[in-house]
Amino acid sequence: MTTLWPRLEPLLARVQKPARYIGCEDGAYVAPWSSSRVAWLLAYPDAYEVGLPNQGLQILYEILNDSPDALAERTYAPWPDMEALMRERRIPLFSVDNHRAAGEFDVLAFNLSAELVYTNVLNCIDLAGAPVRAEARDESHPLIAAGGHCTFNPEPLADYVDFFVIGDGEEAVSEANAVIRDWKASGRNPGTRPGVLRELSHVPGVYVPSMYEAAYDGPRLVGVTPRYSDVPEVVEKRTVADLAQWDYPRRQLVPLTEVVHDRLNVEIFRGCTRGCRFCQAGMITRPVRERPAEQVRRMVSEGLARTGYDEVALTSLSSADYSGIDSVVEGIIDDPACSGQVSVSLPSLRVDAFTVGIASQIQKVRRTGLTFAPEGGTWRIRQVINKLIREEDLYGAVESAFSQGWSRVKLYFLTGLPTETDEDTLGIGELARNCVAVGRQHGRASVTASVGGFVPKPQTPFQWFGQDTVGELRRKVDLLRDSTRKDKGVTLRWHDPRASLAEGLASRGDRRVGRVIEHVWRAGGIFQEWTEYFNLSLWEEAMAAEGLSFDWYVHRDRDPDEVLAWDHISAGLHRDFLWGDWQDALAAAGVPDCRWTPCYDCGACTGYGLEHVVASAVAPAGGSQGTNQDLSSGHIVPVRLVGRRAPAPAAVV
Amino acid sequence: MKVRFRFTKQGKVRWTSHRDVARMWERALRRAVIPVAYSEGFSPRPKISFGLALPTGAESVAEYLDVELAVGPEEAGGPAGLAGALSPMLPEGMDVTAVAPTGPGEPSLQHDVVACRWEIGIPSDVGIDQPEGLEEAVAEVLAAEEIVVTRERKGQPVTDDIRPSILALSALSGPERSVVTLTGPGRVLGVELATVGRGLRPAELLTHLGVDPAGVRTVRTHQWIERDGARREPIPAGATDAPPVERQAS
């Protein structure tokens, strides 16, 4: 093993943000290199400042390094300026921990959190010195692995990745490691690569695409079926039953340079049963598993003491839903060890939960304003997507915020949703206008409505839905822009509809889309999730070159009996549940949160013998926690805003 | 009560920015549970003030910062205690080398420092490769009455005479070199540059000398303030030096 540092260092004065490449984070392992351990290079295929905070990668980093049979280092996609210098000087992809060449590792494992990074995955494999196509790699090359939410449709990368881990990785990573350890111990002899992959396909939750054959009838996918009888027909996701047994990360990495989410992050629960139909994360991470409050408190206090951070985020898909969130937040703020200087942030705060729950004055809030996500402009469309936030809830939350001195509020919306009419689109402007009016009673008020084009995701009720075209999304944005042009105080922002098209292709594509991704990468299309680098014409050229059609993959409503590219990957959700929920969506019928209402057998609990792990037996108070429930409220909105330094929180109505 | 720290920034950590260093110190002070005074108001910040920014990529054995404590310095562990508590909380390559209480009337580092001394290691393959080349360039600069250059300040091109900002300049050999290390053959410049007025940055001087600033290794060895017509370092000689730290910067 040799370090590349002496060759890298002379490049650092010539690149932007050189601290991206130095490592040295507090919490980094400097694992002794040992031939008896399987060496994993964990890669986040985006810029360092985006990838470093990723909790999934950090959890696996610790689990592997704590294991006697493994060691792990990290890498991130080098920014194009650095990549150019590396290629010019023939420097391969390297780890930031010890600056070891990627090719010296046994496994190069990617976290896939967004589809538009796929071209960066190929670029990283190439920079590592390995052929990008799996079939061209041999025993001298690392095994290429991937995990993360995008792997619930692994097919677009099936020809490039050797094995995928579907679902929670905490347990599966060690099981995969044991298989690779034996292969490594046997000398990684020529001709043994298919054998170790076959072994890996026996690990529950591991999908080895080369063990499956994809068959087509014209454009239509006929099926993805195992080549061998010992390979599972359907790969079921892994789910850790009890988060309390996995109090990771224990040594969260503290970077030396600025990154996103630069704070202590403590995951308070996994899974979400609110049932928002557009939300892939909520569908694929069921059931709800709360971390015990006592463990949350310990992880927070130990984490703050160790890292020196003055902000902690209690993370989950809907943090205000955590049982007893109030007392946990108050406990942190009132902890004398925090000396009144620690702020708590609750990402993914729902409007209705905000109005009944607790909102702490967080640094992020003070700097950028509060963000709420009503997602849809009218009650009708919010029933379609099952985001059951009433207008009154939104105004109540906004009222609380403005009365407390905020002057800016940001609202997130989706457009291009199923059954969406222009009335729904214009409703976005209406909501924003009304929020400004609420705020004006308290002085200056501005509202930013941020509108994203909806991309249907696999393993959700909307997986059958034909995504809006770029033209249609543009028309809707224009409509909205015209209608809000004269509104002082309303600022409209929108996501590039062209990027939504490429994302839609990569989200629901089959194996054939892999060649498109490769084509885009070969044409220089990297960092496609960055506005300054995204280039739709590369994707259009690639589609034409591969003879594929956006209409077929993206814009077409899919048939009920159609084979979907991800049908052999299971998030535990029954197909008839998803189809039924899709039909409910089309009928604009919402469904309640199943934590406190009868189970409608989505499959996530029953199929895996799991249950929701929720401390509270009753639903939190509040008007619209689920539909078909008591939607009346209309009285006081008991929001409490807890000041950073105020020992006694001020009650506000 | 204000306390002044001298610290190093060497090795890999030199690739972090001035802002990054500020954050590292804030975290280190909290980790070491040093009772720092906080500003009042809605968004309290620790009362810390830094000296002149060190360019990203440059090393230093003479960085300073002032920290206002909420208690007296002895209560906070005394100079030796503060240094001993903080160095382990800072990244590798950043170590506290001296601590001294600062009088209440002391001007801020930003306003007080008038000049900095630098050592600049120039590898043979960067720019000037002949020993005489460097000596000649140095002599030329020293003999010049004025050196008018156009450079950028706050995004605007500015033309002025940089010669008055060059207080000392020499090619160093052997024992004179105190800090900078070169892995291969090369030469070392010792230079003292004014920081008042528009000042002069090492990279700007190198550009004038025809040396690519990206190819050199730069170390700040001293910062100077003036008291009663005499120059001294921001922590006076004889003030408590921090115990030596065993870690070695890479």
* Interface contact A341-B29, CB threshold 8 A: no
Determine the average pLDDT of the residues in A174-194: 97
Q: Which residue has the tokens 């209409």?
A: A551
Pick A366's closest partner by Cβ from B13, B38, B43: B43
Whether residue B15 and residue A22 make contact (CB cut-off 8 A), yes or no, is yes
Model confidence band, residue B127 (pLDDT cutoffs 50, 70, 90): low
Tens digit of each residue's pLDDT (9 = 90 or more) over A461-477: 999 999 999 999 999 99
What one-character DSSP code corresponds to residue A594? Answer: T
> Given a cut of 80, is residue A596 above it in pLDDT?
no
Question: What is the arithmetic mean of pLDDT over A166-185?
Answer: 98
pLDDT level of residue A344 (50, 70, 90 thresholds):
confident
The residue among B55 and B182 whose pLDDT is bigger is B55
Q: Percent of chain A, pLDDT > 70? A: 90
Cβ-Cβ contacts under 8 Å, A7 against chain B: none
Task: Number of A to B CB contacts under 8 A, please give it.
Answer: 64
State residue A349's pLDDT score. Answer: 65
Q: Calculate what percentage of chain A has a pLDDT beyond 90.
A: 75
For chain B, the domains span 2-107, 112-231
Quick: pLDDT tens for A275-308. Answer: 999 999 999 999 999 999 999 999 999 999 999 9
Report chain B's mean pLDDT, rounded to a whole number.
88
Contacts of the segment A3-6: beta carbons below 8 A, 24+ positions apart = A3/A98, A3/A99, A3/A100, A4/A91, A4/A92, A4/A94, A4/A99, A4/A100, A4/A101, A5/A99, A6/B183
For residue B239, what pLDDT band results from cuts at 50, 70 and 90? low
Using the predicted structure, report yes or no on whether residue A39 has a pLDDT greater than 70: yes
Q: Is the dihedral of CA A520, A522, A523, A526 positive or negative?
A: positive
Determine contact: B27 vs chain A, CB below 8 A: yes
pLDDT of residue A384: 97
List chain B residues with CB under 8 Å of A341: 30, 38, 44
Find which of B10, B15, B212 to mutate to test the A interface (most A CBs within 10 Å of its CB).
B15
Determine whether the interchain pair B215/A13 forms a contact, defined as Cβ–Cβ distance below 8 Å.
yes
The nearest alpha carbon in chain A to B14 belongs to A19
Nearest to B31 among A18, A308, A366 (CB): A308
Secondary structure of residue A396 in the 3-state scheme:
helix
Give the CA angle between residues A509, A510, A514 to the nearest 5°. Answer: 85
Would the pLDDT of A623 be above 70? no
Least confident of A308-322, A520-534, B149-163, B179-193: B179-193
Identify the CATH homologous superfamily for domain A5-236.
Answer: Cobalamin-binding domain (3.40.50.280)
Average pLDDT, chain A: 89
What is the pLDDT confidence band of residue B128, given thresholds at 50, 70 and 90?
low
pLDDT at A616: 60
Query: Which CA distances in Å does B89 have to A136, A308, B83?
Result: 47, 9, 10
Task: Indicate the residue of A14, A24, A363 with minimum beta-carbon distance to B13.
Answer: A24
Q: How do A358-360 and A640-642 pair as beta strands?
A: parallel
With contact defined as beta carbons under 8 Å apart, do A275 and A384 qualify? Answer: no
Higher-pLDDT residue of B1, A362: B1
Residue with tokens 């170390």: B219
Distance in angstroms (rounded) separating the CA atoms of residues A577 and A275: 12
What pLDDT digit, counting tens, does each position of B87-104 carry?
999 999 999 999 999 888
- Residue B144's CB is within 10 A of a number of other CB atoms, namely 13
Coil vs helix vs strand at A227: coil
- Report the pLDDT value the prediction gives residue A26, as an integer from 0 to 100: 95
Q: Which of B17, B30, B212 to mutate to test the interface with A (most CBs of A within 10 A)?
A: B30
In this complex, which of B43, B91, B214 lies closest to A256 when CB atoms are compared?
Answer: B91
Q: Per-residue pLDDT for A137 more than 70?
A: yes
Query: In the prediction, which pLDDT does B242 show?
Result: 62
- Each residue of A271-281: b (16+ CB within 10 Å) or e? bbbbbbbbbbb
Choose from B9, B19, B23 for mutation: most chain A CBs within 10 A: B23
Residue ranges per structural domain of chain A: 5-236
B 126-155: CB under 8 A from A: none
A490, A433 Cβ separation under 8 angstroms: yes
Q: Which of B13, B30, B213 comes nearest A256 by C-beta? A: B13
Topology alike, domains B2-107 and B112-231: yes
- Over the stretch A377-397, which tens digit does the pLDDT of each residue have? 999 999 999 998 889 888 988
Alpha carbon distance A223, A230 (integer Å): 18
Interface subset of B 84-103, CB within 8 angstroms of A:
89, 91-93
* Chain B interface test: which of A81, A89, A257 (most B C-beta within 10 Å): A257
Task: Report pLDDT for B139.
Answer: 92
Amino acid making up residue B240: T
- Give the integer Cα–Cα distance in Å for A237 and A235: 6
| Chain B closest-CA separation from residue A10 CA (Å) | 7
Nearest to B27 among A24, A309, A363 (CB): A309
pLDDT category of residue A631 using cuts at 50, 70 and 90: very low
Q: Which chain B residues touch A10 with a CB distance below 8 Å?
A: 215
Task: Using the Cα atoms of residue A334, residue A337, residue A340 and residue A343 in order, give the sign of their dihedral.
Answer: negative
Predicted pLDDT of residue A421: 97
pLDDT band, residue A371 (cuts 50/70/90): confident
Query: Helix (H, G, I), strand (E, B), or coil: what is residue A164?
Result: strand
> What distance in Å separates residue B30's CA from the closest CA in chain A?
5
Domain B112-231 has CATH 3.30.70: yes
Work out the minimum CA distance from B74 to partner chain A, whole angstroms.
21
| Test the A interface: residue of B25, B31, B40 with most A CBs within 10 Å | B31
Annotation: CATH topology of B2-107: Alpha-Beta Plaits (3.30.70)
Say which of A24, A305, A366 has its CB closest to residue B92: A24
Q: Render pLDDT for A483-517 as a digit per residue (tens, 0 to 9).
A: 999 888 999 999 999 999 999 999 999 999 999 99
Three-class SS of chain B: CEEEEEEEECHHHHHCCHHHHHHHHHHHHHHCCCCECECCCCCCCECEEECCCCCCCCEEEEEEEEEEECCCCCCCCHHHHHHHHHHHHCCCCCCEEEEEEECCCCCCHHHHEEEEEEEEEEECCCCCCCHHHHHHHHHHHHHCCCCEEEEEECCEEEEEECHHHEEEEEEECHHHCCCCCCCCCEEEEEEEEECCCCCCCHHHHHHHHCCCHHHCEEEEEEEEEEECCEEECCCCCCCCECCCCCCCCC
- The reply to whether B18 touches chain A by the CB within 8 Å rule is no
> What distance in Å separates the CA atoms of residue A80 and residue A120, rounded to the nearest whole number?
11
Could you tell me which of A271, A260, A376 has the C-alpha nearest to residue A318?
Answer: A271
The answer to whether A256 contacts B43, with C-beta atoms less than 8 Å apart, is: no
Instruction: List chain B residues with CB under 8 Å of A12.
Output: 15, 57
The structure tokens listed for A617 are 């037996």
- Chain-chain contact of A22 with B56 (C-beta, under 8 angstroms): no
pLDDT, tens digit, for every residue of A216-247?
999 999 999 999 999 999 999 999 999 999 99
Please give the pLDDT value at position A619: 55
The pLDDT, as a whole number, for residue A356 is 36
